[in-house]
Amino acid sequence: MIFIVAKFETKPEWTDRWIEHVRPFTEATRAEPGNRWFEWSRSVEEENTWVLVEAFDDDAAEAHVTSDHFRQAQQDLPQALVRTPRVISEKIAAEDWAELGEMSVD
């Protein structure tokens, strides 16, 4: 699986409307074959930072970055950003989320 975490630093005037701004891209990506998850979170420490956690089957990541909705996002998203997003992208052996071994909820 390809596991990706990306940080997007938004301009203050875009922060509160970021989720609506990326909604078409998010929905299209979630509908892609091979997409495992595509989840946005807002940083509690950096109010203008959004974190995207996404995962794809190994052979699906290429189709994602060459899709029409990805190309559209490349045009639409930068206007709302302070800088180029930062990313960690790795191929990992996991196939899904695992339970946290150091904590148990009964």
Q: What is the pLDDT of residues 46-74, one digit of tens each?
A: 999 999 999 999 888 788 888 999 999 99
Its pTM surpasses 0.85? yes
Q: What are phi and psi of 69, to 5 degrees?
A: -70, -30
Rounded alpha-carbon distances, angstroms, from residue 7 to 1, 24, 93, 98: 20, 19, 23, 23
So what's the pLDDT on residue 91?
Answer: 95
| Residue 17 within any structural domain of the chain | yes
Q: Considering the domain boundaries, does residue 28 fall inside one?
A: yes
Kindly state whether residue 34 falls inside one of the protein's structural domains: yes
29 is a domain residue: yes
Indicate which CATH number applies to the domain containing 85.
3.30.70.100
Which pLDDT band holds residue 106 (cuts at 50, 70, 90)?
A: confident
Dist CA 6 CA 81 (whole Å):
13
pLDDT digits (tens, 9 = 90+) for 15-49: 999 999 999 999 999 999 999 999 999 999 999 99
Instruction: Please give the residue range of the domain that contains residue 86.
Output: 2-91
Mean of all residue pLDDT scores within the chain? 95
Give me the long-range contacts of 59-63 (CB less than 8 A, separation at least 24): 59/34, 60/2, 60/32, 60/33, 60/34, 60/35, 61/2, 61/34, 63/32, 63/33, 63/34
Determine phi and psi for 101, rounding to 5 degrees. Answer: -70, -25
User: Which pLDDT does position 13 carry in this prediction?
Assistant: 98
